[in-house]
Structure 1
Amino acid sequence: MIQKIFTSPVNLVVKIGEKVQEEVEKEYYDIEHIQKKLIHLQMMYDLDEIEEETYKQSEKDLLMRYELAKKREMEQWNE
């Protein structure tokens, strides 16, 4: 009984951490979210709100995420 009193807060923190990680991964691998970010990035570049180097690096990162997300999606379909 006393052990449960002391471990409950720790278990709650662990569950919250797991939920946060799950949400971060969901956003990181969400194809629609990545596509929206790519569009937003393109708009910022077209409006001269960001430098070309920043645009190219951000685009590269987003395209890498997109590729990973597509691979992950295909793996889930194959299971």
Structure 2
Amino acid sequence: MIHKLFTSPINLVVKVGEKVKEEVDKEFYDLEHIQQKLIHLQMMYELDEIEEEAYKQSEKELLTRYEIAKKREMEQWNELTKGEK
């Protein structure tokens, strides 16, 4: 009983940390999310809501994140299929 009193707050912090990591991963490495951001960025540029320099910088950052996300996806796929061979 006393053990639970001390470990429950720690377990809660761990779960919150895992959820935060999950959300950060989604923000930075979710391919669909990045694609949506690229589309939104393109629309903003075409409607003259952002300047060309800001557009190019944001596009470069998003494309870099997309490339990293794609590599991570391929690594995960390779890990999953490694056991099947």
TM-score, normalised with respect to structure 1: 0.89
Q: Which amino acid aligns with 2:43?
A: M
Matched with 1:74 is: 74
Equivalences, count: 79
Q: CA deviation at 1:20?
A: 1.5
Alignment of 1:1-79 (within 5 A): 1-79=1-79
Where structure 2 has 5 or more consecutive residues not aligned to the other structure, the ranges are 80-85
Q: Which amino acid aligns with 2:9?
A: P
Q: Deviations over 1:23-78 (max 9, x none)?
A: 22023211111111101001101111111111111000000000001111111121
Q: CA RMSD of the aligned region, Å?
A: 1.2
Greater mean deviation of Cα atoms: 38-47 or 24-33: 24-33
Where structure 1 has 5 or more consecutive residues not aligned to the other structure, the ranges are none
